[in-house]
Amino acid sequence: MAKRALCIGINNYPGTGSDLAGCVNDAKDWAALLKAKGFQVTTLLDSKSTLKGMRDAIEGIVSSAKSGDTIIVQYSGHGSYIPDVDGDEPDGTDECLCPYDVDRNGPLSDDELFDIYDSRVRGSKIIMISDSCHSGSVTKFAPIVTPPTMAGRSAPQRKVRFLPPEVFLSSRDMAKLGTARRALHRSSTPGRYASLLLAGCQDYEYSYDAYFNGRPNGAFSFVALRALKKVPSTATYRDWFKKIRAVLPSQQYPQTPNLFGSTRQRKWRALA
């Protein structure tokens, strides 16, 4: 039984004015952990994480899986939403991930991810770990200054990992959104039940780019990696998730992590 992982981290978003700081560190931290757990790991960082690069890498790792194999796809970067074209979303939008070249080539939607994951060989396990915002409003958030976590006067900045769709959608597609009153309720998240999804927030919330002891990380990734050290090696994803939820949401990081999958998937042994 093989164990393979793909870790994607994007800080640099050319042409958007919305760069992040902790996503590459997230991907490197997840990669180090997964290697220690016996996974064969591939990383895509910044300019390597184009739409084509992400799609090809995810398709490649999923198609390589045989029955009994475990596949992890980890993503840290911006999330957003686009108009739903097939009517499967109650709020009329599809959640999406934002590649390095999103301003030129667009996002990777949850429908595309579902199709890729659903093509897996039956008996293989697909787990997606996503530290991004899967949805939000069209309001542009200003950076929120956090208390200093390093010496000196300059406090690091906490940013939401949400890219407003007007940054990369055409005016015609923006007109299709009609998102001024976008419903704050759950819709399907990237990967749906074709994979088990461990996400940094609910699909109507924001995941935060944060600093811990002077080092940038996603708040969710930082907490999830620490929580994993506090559960036994036999822990399930549900056990691990409970430890994460003991810390998030917090006053400073008001994001509610999500474990999205079937009862059977939640009982899988974590990262096994």
Q: Is residue 155 situated within a structural domain?
A: yes
Q: Report how far residue 253's alpha carbon sits from residue 221's, in angstroms, rounded to the nearest whole number.
A: 12
Q: Is 185 one of the annotated active-site residues of the chain?
A: no
Q: Is residue 30 situated within a structural domain?
A: yes
Strand 40-45 to 144-145 pairing:
unpaired
Q: Is residue 65 situated within a structural domain?
A: yes
Q: Report how far residue 210's alpha carbon sits from residue 220's, in angstroms, rounded to the nearest whole number.
A: 9
The C-alpha angle 204, 209, 214, rounded to 5 degrees, equals 155
pLDDT band at 45, cuts 50/70/90?
very high
Which CATH number do you get for residue 142?
3.40.50.1460
Contact 207, 132 (CB under 8 A): yes
Q: Is residue 116 situated within a structural domain?
A: yes
Q: Is residue 97 situated within a structural domain?
A: yes
Q: Is residue 271 situated within a structural domain?
A: no
Q: Is residue 8 situated within a structural domain?
A: yes
Does 19 have pLDDT greater than 80?
yes
Of 78, 96, 134, 201, the active-site residue reads: 78
Tell me which residue range forms the domain holding 224: 3-266
Q: Is residue 102 situated within a structural domain?
A: yes
Per residue in 112-130, pLDDT tens? 898 999 899 999 999 999 9
Of 7, 133, 134, 201, the active-site residue reads: 133
| Number of domains present in the structure of the chain | 1
> 57: how many CB neighbours lie within 10 A of its CB?
18
Residue whose pair of structure tokens reads 């950076």 in the numeric block: 143
Burial label for 211, CB within 10 Å (0-12, 13-18, 19+), is: buried
Per residue in 214-241, pLDDT tens? 899 999 999 999 999 999 999 999 999 9
